[in-house]
Amino acid sequence: MARHFSMLRDFQLADWFTLGNAFCGTGAVFAAMRFLQEGIIRDLMIGMALIPLAFIFDALDGRVARWRNQASVLGRELDSLADVISFGVAPAALAYACGMQGGWDWLVLSYFVACGVSRLARYNVTAESLSGEDSKVKYFEGTPIPTSLLLVVVLAVAAYLGHIGPELWLGGWRLGPWLLHPLVLLYALSGTLMISKTLHIPKP
């Protein structure tokens, strides 16, 4: 008979690293929300610091799985879901907290998240066809979603220098009924590179 929490008992060591990734991403979203409530810059910086920590967990879960020879379909799905939170939703939430709150900004940030979700779904579907004789995927189609860490680094520098909110780098442009902050176009570029079919990135 199945016992309570039996699913958790089935988790491998690598899966707990993956959950650490998701935990950090969720914490970053909450930190962004708290900054919007309280206006304390420390909360925003803590949220940004959690993304590199999520990146470390993301790198370690694959290494641990290979070390223990415990790669699984469940682990791959967990990894994708955690990545959506930490490298998709969280960077978008942090950008919003930093001042990218115009109508066009919403569309671009939503596009960025949608690209990340699509990128991970495509990888999960095509992983077998992209793998070689050793069953290891040789390259990524499009940039991996954890590259959004670079966007968070840009935001962290801007926040540290006080260039957020009304002082956001490059300011804001009124285009029709909505406001666009040009800095958000970095998210549009990142999302577009993630869903590229022709850009091949060697997988370490």
* pLDDT single digits (tens) 184-194: 999 999 999 99
Give the model's pLDDT for residue 43: 96
Tens-place pLDDT, residues 50-76: 999 999 988 887 666 565 566 665 667
Give, in degrees to the nearest 5, the angle at Cα 30 between 17 and 110. 90
CA angle 192, 21, 154 (to 5 degrees): 50
Q: Choose between 6 and 14: higher pLDDT.
A: 14
* Averaged pLDDT score across all residues of the chain: 85
Q: Work out the number of other CB atoms within 10 angstroms of the CB of residue 22.
A: 20
The structural domains of the chain, ordered by start, are 12-202 (1.20.120.1760)
Distance CA 108, CA 86 (A): 18
Give the C-alpha distances (Å, rounded to integers) separating 25 from 2, 21, 157: 31, 6, 19
pLDDT at residue 183 above 50? yes
What element of type H or E holds 200? strand 200-202
pLDDT of residue 201: 72
* Per-residue pLDDT tens digits for 21-52: 999 999 999 999 999 999 999 999 999 999 99
